Amino acid sequence: MHLTQLNRECLLHLFSFLDKDSRKNLARTCPQLQDVFEDPTLWPLLHFHSLVELKKDNFLLSPALRSLSICWYSSRVQVCSIEDWLKSAFQRTICSRHESLVNDFLFQVCDRCPNLESVTLSGCGHVTDDCLVRLLRCCQHLRALRLENCARVTNRTLAAVATHGRALQTLHVDFCRNVSAAGLRRLSAACPRLALRAEHSATMIPDQLPRAPGTALRKLLPR
């Protein structure tokens, strides 16, 4: 019996055991399997291990997507998470490309995946408040938002959770250094039923503008 003789339900079940690359490779073999690959019901979950994977054409974004995870564990995360004014010109160029890639992808998610229920972003130092605010506005069914080591996330995202995250039940903002204790307290007061976790976020040193030359010395001199 040839693979293409299986009915649609069996083919979808078979595809569900394959990773993204294997699904794409199998879909290239014939139009019938390509049609199975493009079935939205095959893609309720998406997990990415690096930003490079976001540029591939081996997945589908659709209203069927329920869970999205981008977990980038790389030495480059350390570079992308430091303050912009401390980066070299080369590092800023690379990080700018990464930021555009992540933001463009998340904007597509906002437009195509309104039924998203769970989002995990770890090591995504390029994710901005603008992206997360739009995500909360567009994905009204979002129940869990887990952020870890997202250096650009600030109290603005927390305020957006209070305003737009009506369905949100779980929020993690771990190691997000630009989230303050005051912002967390305001969110807890506004959303008392929200399961909020913020490991080390409020205790980390937030981003600061570079001091003008001689500032530290002037503070030490007697007045």
**Residues 185, 152 share a domain:** yes
**Residues 35, 91 share a domain:** no
Residue-level pLDDT at 34: 97
**Residues 58, 118 share a domain:** yes
Q: Do 4 and 33 form a contact (C-beta atoms < 8 A)?
A: yes
The answer to the question of residue 62 being in a domain is: yes
**Residues 81, 128 share a domain:** yes
Identify the burial level of 61 via C-beta atoms within 10 angstroms of its C-beta, where 0-12 means exposed, 13-18 middle and 19 or more buried. middle
The answer to the question of residue 215 being in a domain is: no
The answer to the question of residue 218 being in a domain is: no
**Residues 123, 26 share a domain:** no
**Residues 47, 37 share a domain:** no
**Residues 158, 56 share a domain:** yes
Angle at which helices 89-112 and 129-138 cross, to 10°: 10
The answer to the question of residue 213 being in a domain is: no
Query: Looking at residue 37, which CATH number applies to its domain?
Result: 1.20.1280
Q: E strand or H helix at 116, and its extent?
A: none
Q: Do 147 and 173 form a contact (C-beta atoms < 8 A)?
A: yes
Domain count along the chain: 2
The answer to the question of residue 222 being in a domain is: no
**Residues 63, 37 share a domain:** no
The answer to the question of residue 130 being in a domain is: yes
**What pTM, to 2 d.p., does this model score?**
0.84
Mean pLDDT in the chain?
87
Pairwise CA distance, residues 79 & 91, whole Å? 7
**Residues 91, 24 share a domain:** no
* pLDDT tens digits, 19-42: 999 999 999 999 999 999 999 999
Q: Which domain holds residue 123?
A: 43-203
The answer to the question of residue 154 being in a domain is: yes
Place 203 in a pLDDT band, splitting at 50, 70 and 90.
confident
* pLDDT tens digits, 94-116: 666 777 888 899 999 999 999 99
Q: Which two tokens stand for residue 42?
A: 């095959």
The answer to the question of residue 1 being in a domain is: yes
**Residues 83, 6 share a domain:** no
**Residues 130, 22 share a domain:** no
